[in-house]
Amino acid sequence: MNPLKPWSVRIKKIKSETEDVRTFTFEAKDALPGKTGLPGQFNMVGFPAVGEAPISFSSLDNGTIEHTIRAVGRVTEFLFGLKEGDDLSMRGPYGRGWPMDRCAGKDLLLIAGGVGLAPLRPVVQTVIASRRLFGDVSLLYGARNEASLLFRKELDEWKKHIRIALSVDEVEARDGKYEAGPVTVPLRRIGINPDRTVVFVCGPELMMRFTARELLMKRVPQSGIFLSLERRMHCGVGHCGHCQQCGRFVCKDGPVFPYREVHGLPDGLL
C-alpha cells in the first residue's frame, strides 16, 4: 500500500477539552486493515487545498481513532471549523511510538506538559488494560492552570489504577489538589528506582529539557528516558527533509526517541 496515499475519514464525534483543544473521533469510510496505529505514532490529518498537520494518536481504545488537537495554525484552525459528519483526509500511521515492550515488568513514569498528555493517553489506556504486566506506574502532569488540564474526568478514573500528581503554574485555590509550579516540582519529591524505571516524557521542549535534567540527577540512565519530539513534518516518511536533525528524521525515526539519541542537537533545546 502506498504510504503517501490519503484515505477518507468521517468525524464521528467532537469533544471540547479546553477553550482551544478538542478531541476528534474518526471513523474510516472504507475498511482499512492495518491502520490502527500504536501509542506514540501519528497521522497526517488535513483537507485538500488546505494542508496537513501531524497529529499523534490520543486514543486507540476499542479500535477507534482519536486525535486531540489544539488550534494553532491554518490546518488546525480549519479543522475546528468542521462539524460531526464532515469528511477529511488522513495518512498514516507513521513513525516510531512509545517502546511499550521495554516497560513489561518495570516501573513506568509518565511525565506530560500541556497538550503533551494526549500522546501519552494511549499508554495509560494500555497500562490499565494490562495492569498486572507493569510495576509501579505514575503520571506527573503539569499545565498552565486548571482550565488547561486535559481529560479531567479521566484523570479521576485513572487514579484508581496509577499514581497521579498534578501541577499548575497558576494556582487559584490552595486546597492541595494541585501543586504550584512546573511538572518538575512533583518530580523532585518522588522516589525513583533508576535501575527499573522507564520514563516517557511529552510536552513543550523546554519543559522536556529541564525534566530530562532532573531525571538524570535522579540517576535514571539516558537509555531509560524517552521523549516525543515535534518538528516541521510534511511527508511523514522521511522524503521531504523538513524534519531532519543531524541525519535523523523526526517523522520516520521518531517522533519518540531515546534521550541519548537527541541530547545535544544543534538547536540546543535538549
The per-residue pLDDT string of the chain (270 residues; one tens digit each, 9 = 90 and over) reads: 687 888 899 999 999 999 999 999 998 876 554 557 899 999 999 998 999 999 999 998 766 789 999 998 899 999 999 999 999 999 999 999 999 999 999 999 999 999 999 999 999 999 999 999 999 999 999 999 999 999 999 999 999 999 999 999 887 766 668 888 999 999 999 999 999 999 999 999 999 999 999 999 999 999 999 999 987 788 888 888 888 877 788 989 999 999 999 887 776 667
Q: What cell does 269 get?
A: 533545546
Q: Which residues of 249-268 are buried (b: 16+ CB within 10 A; e: fewer)?
A: bbbbbbbbbbbebbeeeeee
Q: What cell does 194 get?
A: 533508576
Pairing of strands 179-180, 163-168: parallel
Measured distance CA(37)–CA(35) in Å, rounded = 6
Q: Are 45 and 7 in contact (CB under 8 A)?
A: no
Measured distance CA(82)–CA(88) in Å, rounded = 9
94 CB burial (10 A radius; 0-12, 13-18, 19+): buried
Number of C-alpha atoms within 13 angstroms, CB side, residue 241?
Answer: 2
DSSP 212: H
Q: Are 213 and 183 in contact (CB under 8 A)?
A: no
Residue-level pLDDT at 34: 54
Pairing of strands 107-113, 137-143: parallel
Residue with cell 529539557: 209
Residue-level pLDDT at 180: 87
Residue-level pLDDT at 62: 67
Return phi, psi of residue 222, to 5°: -55, -35
